[in-house]
A and B are shown apart, each in its own frame.
Chain A
Amino acid sequence: MDVPTLFLFGIDVIRFSIDLATAYGLYLIVSLTLNLEAGFTGIPNFGKVLFVAAGAAVVGFVCGRLAALVLGVNTFGDYNGHIQAIIPPLDKLLAANPVVALEILFAGLAIAATIGAVLGLLTSYPAIRLREDYLGMLLLAAAQLFQIFLGGYEPLIGGSIGISVPDFFGWAGNGIEVRDVFVLGFVAVFAAVVYLYMERVARSPLGRTLRSIRDNEMASRALGKRDAIMRRNVIMVASAISAMAGALLAFYVGSVTPETWTRITWTFWIWVMLIVGGAGNNAGVALGAFAFTFLFKITDQVKFYFQGYIPFDVNWIEYLTFAALLILIIAYRPGGILPEKSSVTLPWKTLAEIMQSKPKRSAGVLGPGFASESEKVKKTGSDG
């Protein structure tokens, strides 16, 4: 079995589409989590790369070792040191045992999510206490330190040279492209689930609560919303999902190198997607992520034709273009391509009907926190 090739303007269109779609899926997941943090809740996460890289590092560190342990590949007591000798037999065994491969894959994703959530919990400690600007600085600094840690601590992912990850999709087919189609399917399902989840959050009372925290912290506090806990939970959920996206990328690429995880690649680009698409609107973010990924990948394909005519690396132009694009969008269309819509609530008449017909549930319309508080008051009142 093999994937057909189709050339158009000198580009292998099918290969290109697979690459594009996989990258889009991963970028979409991460940008949606940033939307949950920055778009809905107003947490300026300038350290996004930390969580994505943490997920990838988990895959590099845990999954290969786990596979070697389960499948009985001799690691000579030093997995990182003998990586070149371990990977080929491991790949073969994994291709022969799809169930084991998938189990380890899901275990890796779960561990990545856990580590991401723990890191989120750690960063949320200052995050729920600091003002936006201080928080931005702190997260940026923390992400940079983590990057140095990844590059410097060799037992984890082999220091600055990185580490190979065995192929957990080898069972899908011999051709590397058939495997990539399977990975794409996996990523697509995951991205769809994340999108639906985010959309559900955005339309739920929880989504409106988050927006109220973003827009007026004092007012939401007065309504009984516990903003600190909400923020902490948002950071933990977003970090867990970002870490899973990072893990998926490591599975897809088959290696983890610290150079991939920089302030530019997984913080700045994600912010570009968010701002260009429209913060606070999931459809907008999806559009922004697609526009960015498409431009980025097309430039990757086309730039070699121009390289001969320009005396410098074309990548630098990418930096300049996207920076200029971002600033122009902030200046002339601050809401992004698809700006945030006001949240959909029930019509006033329906609300009034609900309030009249079910007096007990009437408090529930205002939110779960409010209901429980009022019930508590009633209970203590009757006790006293």
Chain B
Amino acid sequence: MLPPPSRFWQRRRKLIIVGFLIGALAIVYLGGFWRPLPRISVPSYYLDTIVYASLFGLMAIGLTLTYLTTKVPNFAYGSFVTIGIYTSFTLFKLDQLDPYVSTLIAFLIGAVSSVGMYLGILRVLARRGSSLIALMIATLAIDIAFVGVFGIFSDYLTSHFGILDSKKFFRLRADFSLFGTPGVLFVAPISLALITATLYLFLNRTRFGIALRAAVENPSLARVLGIDVERAYVFAWFLAGGLAATAGSYSTLWLAGGTTSGSNLIVEIFASSVLGGLASIYGAAVGGLIIGATEILLTQVGINLVGSWVSIYQKGVPLAIMVITLLLFPQGLVSIKWVGSVRRLKRSVQGLRSVIRRVRRGSRVK
């Protein structure tokens, strides 16, 4: 057995991850913008990369929070993104409300429905002793129910307010522009960085945050110490739904939306979370950045090399990353010991070489 990690090592690991997060963000961000003046037009896929990466980071943090508390993969999570999308869309269409303002409303609606889902359905089922598969299928059912609700809502928008594109709409033309680029390109990554930093401070510096971590790590021991585990879990679900809705709200400024657009993102969200290890919210943020950036950039490379038809298989990238992660290092990025990893990689390459050499020699003898 491995010795338990020391506190010092734990703290350093998180610092490394946060540092990596900020560094990756900076590279992705500055790579697209810092060009010598006069400005050369930035390829649009760079902008896509920034938006996708930061939105998936936000979503993956939320999904990881729900997984940490209930240990059930939440297939309905994509629908909370759709809640954000529809909140922004509706308020913009009806009141011309700026989507950045409606983000706050979306956060609340998403958070409250997420808590409702947890308290009203998942906790009830879990207390009745449902199996993991039953809980998973229940979350899938909730997702389907949400699709039904969004369908009814969009039909209602069409019939009552005459909004004809309520089922499938293009990006909202409501964004402000900064230095000649859309504002969401600044707001989304900065939000992700701020939220990650705030969560770091919250989970490490406040009593409630530390209690939440304890409740996640060991619920029974936390209960013995007088921590209200249920309250901590409800808060985690509140945050998760809110983050998903926030990401959805931002996404209306960049992506097209519709009744199933959130549910369709579930592949990327799960891939980000799995890559981050499903147990670390910082890992999830990094995973989201990596998945979002890889998805867009790799597809772009494929388009340049092979042809534009590759773009349909964009979702193959996160799936492939997820499969590789699950088969090679199922505990995610967090489990890899980065310090000394180069040395170990060299050693394993040397080992492989010697094996190949031996095999070759053997075939020659024959």
Give chain A's interface residues, CB within 8 Å of chain B: 38, 42, 44, 46, 126, 129-130, 132-134, 136-138, 140-142, 144-145, 148-149, 151-153, 263-264, 267-268, 271-272, 275, 311-313, 315-320, 322-324, 326-327, 330-331, 334
- A327 and B155 contact, CB distance less than 8 A: no
B116 on interface, CB distance cutoff 8 Å: no
Identify 28 residue pairs between A and B in the complex whose beta-carbon atoms are under 8 Å apart, listed by A's number: A42-B133, A44-B137, A46-B75, A46-B136, A133-B132, A134-B73, A137-B274, A140-B266, A141-B270, A144-B267, A145-B315, A145-B316, A264-B147, A275-B137, A311-B159, A313-B152, A317-B148, A319-B144, A320-B149, A322-B144, A327-B125, A327-B138, A327-B141, A327-B142, A330-B138, A331-B125, A334-B130, A334-B134
Contact A138 to B141, CB < 8 A, known contacts A316-B152, A327-B125: no
- B151 and A141 contact, CB distance less than 8 A: no
B271 on interface, CB distance cutoff 8 Å: yes
The chain B residue sitting closest to A44, CB to CB, is B133
- Pairs of residues from A and B, 9 with the lowest C-beta to C-beta distance, nearest first: A319-B148, A152-B312, A312-B155, A323-B145, A316-B151, A323-B141, A316-B148, A141-B267, A320-B148
The chain A residue sitting closest to B127, CB to CB, is A331
B134, B271, B313: the one contacting A152 at CB < 8 Å is B313
Q: Is the interface of A mostly helix, strand, loop or mixed?
A: helix
A134, A318, A327, A330: the one contacting B326 at CB < 8 Å is A134
- A326 and B319 contact, CB distance less than 8 A: no
B124 on interface, CB distance cutoff 8 Å: yes
B160 on interface, CB distance cutoff 8 Å: yes
Q: Distance (Å) between the CB of B285 and the closest chain A CB? A: 19
B128, B131, B274, B318: the one contacting A331 at CB < 8 Å is B128
B121 on interface, CB distance cutoff 8 Å: yes
What's the Cα separation between A275 and B134 when bound, in Å? 8
- A148 and B315 contact, CB distance less than 8 A: yes
What's the Cα separation between A141 and B159 when bound, in Å? 34
Chain A residues with Cβ below 8 Å from B75 are 46, 136, 140
- A264 and B326 contact, CB distance less than 8 A: no
The chain B residue sitting closest to A129, CB to CB, is B327
- B326 and A138 contact, CB distance less than 8 A: yes
What's the Cα separation between A327 and B134 when bound, in Å? 9
- B270 and A137 contact, CB distance less than 8 A: yes
Chain B residues with Cβ below 8 Å from A145 are 267, 313, 315-316, 319
Chain A residues with Cβ below 8 Å from B28 are none
Chain A residues with Cβ below 8 Å from B255 are none
- A323 and B330 contact, CB distance less than 8 A: no
What's the Cα separation between A133 and B315 when bound, in Å? 20
B125, B144, B155, B267: the one contacting A264 at CB < 8 Å is B144
Q: Distance (Å) between the CB of A31 and the closest chain B CB? A: 13
B128, B140, B141: the one contacting A334 at CB < 8 Å is B128
- B125 and A136 contact, CB distance less than 8 A: no
The chain A residue sitting closest to B267, CB to CB, is A141
- A330 and B137 contact, CB distance less than 8 A: yes
Q: Distance (Å) between the CB of A140 and the closest chain B CB? A: 7
Q: Distance (Å) between the CB of B298 and the closest chain A CB? A: 15
With most chain A CB atoms within 10 A of its CB, the pick from B148, B267, B309, B326 is: B148
B338 on interface, CB distance cutoff 8 Å: no
Contact A132 to B133, CB < 8 A, known contacts A145-B316, A319-B147: yes
Chain A residues with Cβ below 8 Å from B266 are 140-141, 144
What's the Cα separation between A322 and B148 when bound, in Å? 10
Chain B residues with Cβ below 8 Å from A316 are 147-149, 151-152, 155
- B148 and A38 contact, CB distance less than 8 A: no
For B148-191 the 0/1 string (1 means CB < 8 A from A) is 11011001100110000000000000000000000000000000
Q: Distance (Å) between the CB of B106 and the closest chain A CB? A: 22
Q: Distance (Å) between the CB of B208 and the closest chain A CB? A: 28
Chain A residues with Cβ below 8 Å from B216 are none
What's the Cα separation between A141 and B141 when bound, in Å? 16
- A271 and B137 contact, CB distance less than 8 A: yes
- B140 and A46 contact, CB distance less than 8 A: yes
- A136 and B145 contact, CB distance less than 8 A: no
B73, B141, B315, B326: the one contacting A268 at CB < 8 Å is B141
- A148 and B155 contact, CB distance less than 8 A: no
Chain B residues with Cβ below 8 Å from A141 are 266-267, 270-271, 318-319, 322
- A148 and B141 contact, CB distance less than 8 A: no
The chain B residue sitting closest to A312, CB to CB, is B155
B104 on interface, CB distance cutoff 8 Å: no
With most chain B CB atoms within 10 A of its CB, the pick from A137, A148, A268, A312 is: A137
B264 on interface, CB distance cutoff 8 Å: yes
B323 on interface, CB distance cutoff 8 Å: yes
- A326 and B138 contact, CB distance less than 8 A: yes
A-B contacts besides A136-B75, A138-B322, A140-B75, 12 pairs, CB < 8 Å: A44-B137, A46-B140, A144-B267, A149-B312, A263-B263, A275-B137, A312-B155, A324-B141, A326-B137, A326-B141, A330-B134, A331-B124
What's the Cα separation between A351 and B42 when bound, in Å? 78
Contact A44 to B136, CB < 8 A, known contacts A126-B323, A323-B142, A326-B141: yes
B234 on interface, CB distance cutoff 8 Å: no
B17 on interface, CB distance cutoff 8 Å: no
Q: Distance (Å) between the CB of A13 and the closest chain B CB? A: 29
